[in-house]
Amino acid sequence: MTSPPVCSTSIRLEDIDKRYGGLYALRRVSLEVAAGECIVLAGRNGSGKTTLLRIAARLVRPSSGKVSFSNVGSEQGGAKHISFVAHATMVYDDLTAEENLLLFARLLGIAQAMQRVEALLREVGLFDRRNSLVRTFSRGMRQRVAIARALLRAPGILLLDEPATGLDPQGAGWLADTLRRMRDAGCTIVMSLHGESEISALATRAIRLDAGAIVADTRSGADLRSILAFADA
Amino acid sequence: MWKRGFVGAAVLSLVAASAYASFFIAPTERTMGLIQRIFYFHAASAWAGMTAFSVCFVANLLYVWRRQPHWDSLGVSAAEVGLAFITIVLITGPIWAKPVWGIYWTWDARLTSTFVLWLLYISYLLLRTLIEEPDRRALLSALFGIFAFLDVPLVFGAIRWWRTQHPAPVIMGGPGSGLEPTMRAVFFFSVFALHALMAFLIVERYDLEKLRTELDIVRREAEAL
Amino acid sequence: MSLFANTTVLLGKELRTEFRSRELLTTTIVFILIVLVLFSFTFDPLSDEARRFGAGLLWLAFLFAASLMLQPCFLREQPNDTLSALRLSVADPFAIFLAKLAANTLFLLLTELLLLPIFAVMYNVQVLPVLHWIVLVFFLGSLGVSIAGTALSAISAQARMRELLLPLLLLPLLTPILIASTEVTSALLDRSPYVPWKGVGFLVAFDVVFLTALWLFGEYLLEE
């Protein structure tokens, strides 16, 4: 069982602009995510969801604006940890599942890395394939390795960019269960999704992006289902 | 607008004056004769080119630090103007060498180093053409520009050492070395004139770059609609 | 995790990946061999002068090979966006560069040392008496090539025509390495009692300058 996060992180995005040349991927986006919230980002392709998530993950530098974090309750002395699951798997095809997870576990400085890795592999159902190269995995299996990587160190915040893409119903069900456990244990979750599903049902809040700006937010009274329903419109 | 024309005319007059001085005021050099006069233009261009590249270096550093597009515009302007002056150096060198040494290219230390310098900044400009997104282009070319500039003293040092291992004809001797007072005055006047030209060209090119950037932004926005 | 620890872990990954397939090493060695042989056709390889040319050609071959070998360095992190995973996992992004440049230096050094006996035979030079100096020069030169090459490979991976771009950016920059390494190697092989302090000093200077620059600016090279 993944140990619950002892640290729940809140994020604050203030006046975020992201320009590529003259085009705005994000335009004056301000967003406060409270610790423990589970937010769904909806919107068409190109609305800025991926950019927003990558900026929150500190992978992309905004053209202007500020990103800040703060932790609620911590054991590690306030060390926040951001986990990111992208559309790409972010694992090495030429290494085995176990080697991949061990690599990241060691980089993150996880004590008793081997035990943790084995436990995670069992949890995602890949223990039997741990010595196979990731290159040989199906899309669903790769996604599971990706998520295992994200869960190596209990995150204070988990960011996911369309995590259910390519997963079969069984895989999507497993993902929903995992996310539910994380949410219930207090982890802050922000994920971008297309449309309604088992996973979107976990949300405590939904936000719709269009052309780089937030156009609807359940916190300000918008209807959750309509935000999700029109995601692909 | 006419103010710019006035400044331009003033700069060109300076350059013309220094050319006149090179030909008619400076005394004829004993051994080399007429061809030596090209030295004033050649060495002064080298100094102007290096100053331009230094401006580029500073602009690169400032861009990486502040990320303001005008630093990138300044950087590329300074690089292009510097490259123009360096090209002049590479052309006037052989013009001098042929009558004096009998061959166009003697692999002289300074000229060879200048050639490598030329290659580095051509690469800088080439790199820019191969990156489309403006912010990426600005950042990556600034970083390459920084590495290239840091390499310059190492290149000059290494080539000079190489040349002491394998001596070869040196062109023109050091600037200011063995120059008689009038020559020295003409030389420094040329340096001044060419620096004025350099500054003028950088400003002009910078304005052009800003216009191009704005146009590019408008075009991208239009395409997105 | 400390810089040293992260670097070691990442270096382990780089080495494991390469030694599993050995693609980079084998292609680099074969390439250098091809270049050396082809060069020999352009002059008389047994003449006395050949020994003087030999060191230069050897280093030229190394540089060409390196400019090809260094291309996958950051390119191979692109398909699955593993670079982002690394950036998220390490405290100091410099660890990523240190690990890669250490791995690249090792690979280059390995190919150079493997080719040294072949070169000695082809050009009839005695390397054993000065072997320790040659290894030092190989190491310092390869280090410089790797530092500059790793940095520039991060740049070229983000541009078009990257296969042609990396050699274009890298080779002029490496002029000091080529000169210093060639002078020292050639002097060593000439069997003159020669202690290559000046050349070694040059190489060390180059390595220090560029390693410092990479340390200062590395994180910007990885930015998105």
pLDDT by residue (tens digit) across C21-76?
A: 888 899 999 999 999 889 888 887 777 777 778 888 899 999 999 999 999 999 99
Number of domains within chain B? 1
How many beta-carbon pairs below 8 A join chains B and C?
Answer: 77
Contacts of residue A99 in chain C, CB cutoff 8 Å? 16
Contacts of residue C17 in chain A, CB cutoff 8 Å? 92, 94-95
pLDDT of residue A1: 46
pLDDT by residue (tens digit) across B112-123?
A: 999 999 999 999
Percent of chain C surpassing pLDDT 70: 98
Q: How far apart are CA C221 and CA C101, in angstroms?
A: 14
- Same domain? A1 vs A76: yes
pLDDT of residue A6: 58
> DSSP code of A3?
P
Contacts of residue A20 in chain B, CB cutoff 8 Å? 133-135
Final residue of a structural domain among A153, A172, A204: A153
CB contact under 8 A, B154 and C155: no
CA distance B155 to chain C (A): 5
Number of domains within chain A? 2
How many beta-carbon pairs below 8 A join chains A and C?
Answer: 64
pLDDT, greater one: B172 or B83: B83
CA distance C99 to chain B (A): 20
Q: Inform me whether the pLDDT recorded for B100 exceeds 80.
A: yes
Q: pLDDT category, A133, cuts 50, 70, 90?
A: very high
Average pLDDT over residues B194-208: 95
CB contact under 8 A, A19 and B220: no
CA distance B15 to chain C (A): 33
CA distance C68 to chain A (A): 21
Q: Inform me whether the pLDDT recorded for B42 exceeds 70.
A: yes
Final residue of a structural domain among A153, A173, A203: A153
Q: Inform me whether the pLDDT recorded for A204 exceeds 60.
A: yes
A41 in helix, strand or coil?
strand
CA distance B223 to chain C (A): 22
pLDDT of residue B168: 73
* Side chain identity at residue C220, one-letter code: Y
| Contacts of residue B95, Cβ cutoff 8 Å, sequence gap at least 6 | B35, B38
Which range of A218-222, B88-92, B97-101, B106-110 scores highest in mean pLDDT? It is B88-92
CB contact under 8 A, B126 and C179: no
Provide the residue range defining the domain that includes A136. 93-153
- Same domain? A175 vs A225: yes
Pairing relation of β-strands A82-85 and A64-72? unpaired
CB–CB of C63/C142 below 8 Å? no
pLDDT of residue A73: 56
Q: What is the mean pLDDT of chain A?
A: 86
**What order do you get walking across the sheet with A157-161 strand by strand?**
A82-85, A157-161, A188-192, A38-42, A205-210, A213-217
Which runs of consecutive H residues, i.e. helices, occur in chain B? 2-20, 38-66, 69-101, 109-129, 134-165, 181-224
* Tokens representing residue A206 in the block: 């939904």
pLDDT of residue C159: 93
Q: How far apart are CA A51 and CA C188, in angstroms?
A: 56
Q: pLDDT category, A77, cuts 50, 70, 90?
A: very low
- Same domain? A73 vs A1: yes
Q: Which of B130, B159, B162 faces C161 most closely, judged by CB atoms? A: B130
Provide the residue range defining the domain that includes C102. 3-221
Q: How far apart are CA B219 and CA C161, in angstroms?
A: 25
Nearest chain C residue (CA) to A57: C88
Q: A189: alpha, beta or left, given left = phi > 0 and alpha = psi -120 to 50?
A: beta
**Contact partners of B by the rule of 3+ C-beta pairs under 8 A?**
A, C
CB–CB of B108/B93 below 8 Å? yes
Q: What is the CA radius of gyration of chain A?
A: 17
pLDDT of residue A190: 94
Q: pLDDT category, A78, cuts 50, 70, 90?
A: very low
Nearest chain C residue (CA) to A62: C224
pLDDT by residue (tens digit) across B3-19?
A: 888 888 999 998 888 88
- Same domain? A73 vs A103: no
> Residue A88: inside a domain, yes or no?
no
CB contact under 8 A, A63 and B217: no
Residue bearing tokens 């120059």: B179
- Same domain? A71 vs A11: yes
Provide the residue range defining the domain that includes B98. 2-224
Contacts of residue C206 in chain B, CB cutoff 8 Å? 154
Global pTM value: 0.92
pLDDT by residue (tens digit) across A14-54?
A: 999 998 877 889 999 999 999 889 999 988 888 899 999 99
Collect all residues from B whose CB is shorter than 8 A from any CB in C.
64, 116, 119-120, 123, 126-127, 130-132, 136, 139-140, 143-144, 146-148, 150-151, 154-155, 157-159, 161-162, 165
| CA-to-CA separations, C86 to A92, A104, B130, B149, B190, in angstroms, rounded | 11, 8, 26, 30, 54
The answer to whether C158 contacts chain B (CB < 8 Å) is yes
Residue A165: Cβ within 10 Å count: 12
Percent of chain C surpassing pLDDT 90: 69
> Residue A217: inside a domain, yes or no?
yes
Number of domains within chain C? 1
CB contact under 8 A, B64 and C161: no
C152 in helix, strand or coil?
helix
CA distance B126 to chain A (A): 19
Q: Inform me whether the pLDDT recorded for B174 exceeds 80.
A: no
* CATH (domain of A28): 3.40.50.300
**Contact partners of A by the rule of 3+ C-beta pairs under 8 A?**
B, C
Q: pLDDT category, A233, cuts 50, 70, 90?
A: very low
* Tokens representing residue C7 in the block: 């670097």
Residues of chain C with pLDDT under 50: none
Collect all residues from A whose CB is shorter than 8 A from any CB in B.
19-23, 63
